[in-house]
Amino acid sequence: MVWKLVFHSMLMLLMFQLAAAPPPIAKAGCRDRCGDISIPYPFGIGKDCYMNEWFAIECNETVSPARAFISAIEMEVLNISAERAAATVKAPIISSNCTGRENGVPLNLSGTPFVFSYYNVFVAVGCNTEALMSGARQDLVFNLTLEATDDNQDREGCKLAFLVNETWFESNISDPFTVQHRNYVPAELGWMMDLNRFIDDQSLYCTGYQNGSFLSECACRGGYEGIPYRELGCKDVDECKESKHTCRGLLKCVNTPGYFNCEINKLYIALIVIGAVVLALSLLMGIWWLYKLVKKRKNIELKKKFFKRNGGLLLQQELRAADSRVHKTSVYSSEELGVATDRFNVNRILGQGGQGTVYKGMLADGRIVAVKKSTVVDEGKLEEFINEVVVLSQINHRNVVKLIGCCLETEVPLLVYEFIPNGNLYNYIHDQNQDFLLSWEMRLLIAFEVAGALSYLHSAASIPIYHRDIKSTNILLDEKYRAKVSDFGSSRSISIEQTHLTTLVQGTFGYLDPEYFQSSQFTEKSDVYSFGVVLVELISGQKPIFSVSQTETRSLATHFIMLMEDNRLSDILDARVKELCQNEEVILVANLAKRCLNLNGKNRPTMREVASELERIIGLSQKELSIQENCKISKNIMDVASNDWDASKNIMDDAVSTPITATGDFDTSRTPSSDGEQPFINTTKC
């Protein structure tokens, strides 16, 4: 175990030393020094250690320290820098008229790869001295002419001129005249070679000029080191390993050829991103939870506010005080009705009117209901509204659409009614198709049922209720085609001692009582007038306002009265009525309608009288049937009448003496129930 640890330690140390060792400067297997002088490639000592013969170095080791010479130009080398492509050599000093010294031999580098470097300076020393360099190319030929600047002087002094490395000269020579004691000074040579070998190498750069062949001085670019004149000699410096980078903190050093990049540490970034995401999610979850909490509390407070404003407290009192024998109004939450109507989905809309929109819904117990969402609310009459809701919810008449409950925690109250599946009477009268014909007996029975319901509202309830908007669209038909009076949105209740109600005129044009229109005083006879228009609709099949021409419309009530006075009733009868009726019955109904449409309200019958008259007419209709039919139909009629009046009597005894108003503007399905009980059908023709 110990020797393994020692081995690993030595291996790691060796790898560290190899990594820290500088790159080799000489060719592999060749000496890289001569004495104190480094010999980098393209120079070399010995065969095959240099690029070519021009770069052969002769090392004289007979002296100490050893001296290196460039054999081809016979110049002693003082230093070689492959990075700067420069060799410092001993350059001769050219002299003239100097006692005790040779004049010196000019240098000529023509035909060699060497040139004088631009790091040299040309220096002339002496009095009355002018030195001129001559030659075709001064970077190759150092040929000097030393002359006197003033020919009139008696004698000439010693004149010197030389090329010298500028840096060395400035650092070592303070007095130029001391150079006369030297034979050589250091000068710098550059070298050039064929650029074609290195033109595609991005790790080095070369400079040169055209001289028969393209020659260049080359050096490794920044971020590279090595011998630029060897193939792939410039090696990339890994600044990241040698700490030659400036990447700090979250930045990670990534080595690139010739340089390095500071990239964001992905691990750190991943941790930061994960932390930031977790923090952001936590913050968002906290904000969302806080928002939901605040919203929930706000909704609760808003619901309490609406519940109180809409009379919820009063409704609770009324419900607690109500007799347990009568039906109590259910109070629903907004969530319950939202679920029941699929959040008030537009596809659930049954009908829309001036007072609101009606949606079809299904309660949690499976009951199908109609939910009316009002468009406006009169805050000044909310107490009256609650009283009316309580009283209306206690009405259990078979021919009045039943109010099941309400929701008071919304901005406007929501009313929940029983769902009536077979649409309204208007559609069956005016849009009747051949699949289902509204027979004469059905029309009589519907008229009787509506009259019975209005009679109950006017006289059998504890407080009279005026509907104020009787029309065929507000008479719905259930699955057995029983009539149901709906839309109490305009209705008003009055005390027993009152005979009329003074209000702003409300109603539907064509059904509106002219007397009420002129006086703004609504009485029970105003409902009678509107019912008279419905009777005429049943007889004639005409709309309450119909077109005589493209530019003229006429009131059905006025037109009917005019024809009755001219004894032309047959002109207005519905063809479908003519086929399936008795003349006597039609005349009786027409006379009843005429009485209901009397312009003087005092001369109109009450709804109780109207119901009694219709019951008598139905009785006459029974006598025209066969014995079997007569027995069956008479029993049904008597059951209907008996049930209606029994229900009226029971409600009258138990009703609470409070005002009554409700709403229920429905537009339900028109498709008759296939398994519904069909009303009386008389096939006896007129």
The tokens for 633 are: 């139909």
Determine how many CB atoms are found less than 10 A away from the CB of residue 144: 23
Q: How far apart are CA 425 and CA 473, in angstroms?
A: 6
CA separation, residue 359 to residues 339, 415, 446, 666 (Å) = 12, 10, 25, 9
Please check whether residue 57 is in contact with residue 50, taking contact to mean a CB–CB distance below 8 angstroms. Answer: yes
Determine how many CB atoms are found less than 10 A away from the CB of residue 58: 15
CA end-to-end span of the chain? 126
The tokens for 664 are: 């229920």
Active-site annotation holder among 236, 469, 487, 574: 469
Report residue 165: phi and psi, to 5°.
-65, 125
Dihedral in degrees, nearest 10, Cα atoms 318, 319, 324, 328? 120
Which one, of 364, 533, 367, 379, lies nearest residue 450 by Cα? 533
Place of tokens 């260049």: 216
Instruction: Provide CB contacts within 8 A for 590, sequence distance 6+.
Output: 539, 560, 564, 569
Q: Radius of gyration of the chain from Cα atoms?
A: 60
Which one, of 580, 682, 684, 685, lies nearest residue 632 by Cα? 682
Instruction: Provide CB contacts within 8 A for 72, sequence distance 6+.
Output: 53, 54, 55, 56, 112
Q: How far apart are CA 465 and CA 488, in angstroms?
A: 10
Instruction: Provide CB contacts within 8 A for 86, sequence distance 6+.
Output: 80, 117, 119, 188, 189, 190
Write out the E strands in 386-506: 403-407, 414-418, 465-466, 475-477, 483-485, 492-493, 501-502
Q: What is the DSSP string of 432-459?
A: -BTTB---HHHHHHHHHHHHHHHHIIII
Instruction: Provide CB contacts within 8 A for 345, sequence distance 6+.
Output: 359
Determine how many CB atoms are found less than 10 A away from the CB of residue 684: 14
DSSP H or E stretch at residue 205: strand 204-211
Q: How far apart are CA 261 and CA 247, in angstroms?
A: 8
Determine how many CB atoms are found less than 10 A away from the CB of residue 367: 13
Largest CA distance in the chain: 177
The tokens for 312 are: 């919820």
CA dihedral sign of residues 532, 534, 535, 541: positive
Q: How far apart are CA 477 and CA 672, in angstroms?
A: 9
Helices (H) and strands (E) in the chain, counts: 15, 36
Query: Residues, the chain, total?
Result: 686
Kindly give the pairing relationship between strand 349-353 and strand 356-362. antiparallel
Establish whether 48 is a catalytic residue: no
Q: How far apart are CA 467 and CA 527, in angstroms?
A: 7
Please check whether residue 134 is in contact with residue 171, taking contact to mean a CB–CB distance below 8 angstroms. Answer: no
Q: How far apart are CA 313 and CA 16, in angstroms?
A: 90
Determine how many CB atoms are found less than 10 A away from the CB of residue 549: 7
Catalytic residues: 469
